[in-house]
Amino acid sequence: MNLPNKLTLLRVILIPFFLLFIYLDMPFNYLIALVIFAAASITDALDGKIARARNLVTNFGKFLDPLADKILVLSALTVFVELDAIHMGAIPLIIISAREFMVSGLRLLAADSGIVVAAGIWGKLKTAFTMVAIIAALLWLSICYDFNFGIPQGIVTAVDCYVIPALIWISTALTVISGAVYLKGYWHLIDSDK
């Protein structure tokens, strides 16, 4: 197994540990979850660059890399909805999930036609911003719950109710835009007569 595939596999392996620590009732659980998520995000940035630079692109990587990204992001957003510590609601999670299913379906149709759907600039921007938004949310949870800095309640409420949700909603908007770009680019594959 080559290095990019090992990094992708490491990202998959880190997901259960991220979930374990975010749910554990122990000191600094959010900080540990943050470090794990950040490490997983770094592997996402590295695996594709290394694979392309060293000509190590494999079918295994093409399959597992986007799947690992989706599971990592959807796991974090699902936890945020369940914990209700960040007041974003379930709508961003539903929109992001729907986009991921749609793009996966388009990729299957494209593969059936012998077309490889590469990640475009909007998809990369969406992924990068989503990772940053989730890291910011985890950092905020760590500041609020792992450390007691005595932050005034008004600031806590503002960040919980407006700042972090705004980041998630920007990520959701980028998700919709990137999904629309994919749909427009591969619309010809969706033919109701076929």
Q: CATH number for the domain including 51?
A: 1.20.120.1760
> What gap in Å lies between CA 173 and CA 19, rounded to an integer?
26
Identify whether 194 is part of a domain. Answer: no
Identify whether 158 is part of a domain. Answer: yes
Instruction: Encode pLDDT of 19-62 as tens digits.
Output: 999 999 999 999 999 999 999 999 988 988 898 889 888 888 87
Identify whether 75 is part of a domain. Answer: yes
Identify whether 49 is part of a domain. Answer: yes
Q: Which pLDDT belongs to residue 193?
A: 64
Q: How far is CA 67 from CA 25, 103, 162, in A?
A: 29, 11, 30
Identify whether 59 is part of a domain. Answer: yes
Identify whether 97 is part of a domain. Answer: yes
Range of the domain at 12: 3-189
Please say whether the beta carbons of 37 and 93 come within 8 A: no
Instruction: Encode pLDDT of 141-177 as tens digits.
Output: 999 889 878 889 999 889 988 999 999 999 999 999 9
**127 or 112, greater pLDDT:** 127
The model carries a pTM of 0.90
Instruction: Encode pLDDT of 61-81 as tens digits.
Output: 878 888 899 999 999 999 999
Identify whether 57 is part of a domain. Answer: yes
In this prediction, residue 194 has a pLDDT band, given cuts at 50, 70 and 90, of: low
* Number of domains, the chain: 1
Closest by CA to 96, choosing from 67, 130, 62, 68, is 130
